Amino acid sequence: MLADKKKILVAGCGSCVTVCFAGGEKEVGILASTLRLANQVEGKHVEVLEQTVTRQCEWEFVDGMAENISEADVVLSIACGIGVQTTAERFPGKQVLPGLNTSFLGQPIEQGIWTETCAACGNCVLAVTGGICPVARCSKSLLNGPCGGSQAGKCEVDPSVPCAWQQVYDRLDTLALQETMELIQPPKDWSAGYRPGPRKIEREDLKV
C-alpha cells in the first residue's frame, strides 16, 4: 500500500487499540521505526511522521492531526476500522489506509487475549441471561437454552470454548433467578443489528 509514498503519517489512537496494544502511541513508534528501517535497507528516502490522538472516531480529535495530514502523502491509520473511516471522511482529499484488521467487540480476559462478548445486535437480551450474551458467546446464537450437544460445560462446536448457556445457567443459579430460563424468547428481530446499509442511532434528547 505504501510502495510509492514518500511522506507517510502513521496515525495512532489512544482508545481501544491502545488497550489492545495494537495501535497506541507505542505501536505508532514501533511501526514508524520499522518503516524507516525497511526503506533505508531498500535505499529509499521516505519520511515517516508520527501522531497519536485521543480518539480517531471523533472529528474533534481527528482535527488535531490536520497539520501532519496536510504534509503527508498518505495516512496509515492503526486505529480500528471506524477510526480509519472517520479520518478519511474528515480529510476527503487525503488517502487514508488501514494498518489493522478490525475483528470484533471484545473483552480482555488475560494479558494479550481478547474474546468476543458482544455482537452489537441492537436487540439486547442480557437482562434475562444473567449478563451473558448468547448471541455472541453461543456458537449457534441460540436464545432459548443450550442445543443439547454440549458436554461437561463445553461447546460441541469447539470443546475449548465454554458453553454459553451453561454459563447463563450458572450465573442465574448464583443470583437465584433460575426461573428466568423458563421464559421463552420470541424469534429474534435481526433487523435491529444485521440489515443492508449502515445502522444509525439518534438520541432525540441530545439534538440541538
Average pLDDT over residues 39-51: 96
Reported as half-sphere exposure (CB side, CA atoms, 13 A), residue 21 has a value of 6
* Complete edge-to-edge strand list for the sheet that includes strand 74-77: 47-53, 7-13, 74-77, 95-98
Kind and range of the H or E element at 66?
A: helix 66-71
SS3 content of the chain, % helix, strand, coil (to 5): 35, 20, 45
Q: Residue 64's pLDDT band (boundaries 50, 70, 90)?
A: very high
Percentage of the chain with pLDDT > 90? 61
Residue 197 predicted with pLDDT over 60: no
Kind and range of the H or E element at 84?
A: helix 81-90
Mean pLDDT of the chain: 89
Structural domains in the chain plus CATH codes: 7-98 (3.40.50), 105-192 (no CATH)
Lowest mean pLDDT among 15-19, 181-185, 193-197: 193-197
Residue 201 predicted with pLDDT over 80: no
Q: Residue 194's pLDDT band (boundaries 50, 70, 90)?
A: low
**Where do the H-state alpha helices sit in 72-109?**
81-90
Summarised one tens digit per residue, pLDDT across range 81-133 is 899 989 999 999 999 999 998 877 777 777 778 888 888 887 888 888 988 99
Question: Who has greater pLDDT, 188 or 67?
Answer: 67
Q: Residue 41's pLDDT band (boundaries 50, 70, 90)?
A: very high
CA distances from 156 to 84, 103, 144, 147 (A): 37, 23, 17, 9
Please provide residue 48's backbone torsions phi and psi, each rounded to the nearest 5 degrees.
-120, 115
Residue type at position 54: T
- What are residue 8's DSSP bridge partners? 48, 74
Determine if residue 48 is left, alpha or beta; phi over 0 gives left, psi from -120 to 50 gives alpha, anything else beta.
beta
Average pLDDT over residues 197-205: 64
Please provide residue 153's backbone torsions phi and psi, each rounded to the nearest 5 degrees.
75, 10
Residue type at position 23: G
First to last CA, the chain: 41
| 3-state secondary structure (DSSP) of residue 171 | helix
- Looking at residue 25, its pLDDT comes to 97
Summarised one tens digit per residue, pLDDT across range 144-179 is 999 999 999 999 999 999 999 999 999 999 989 989
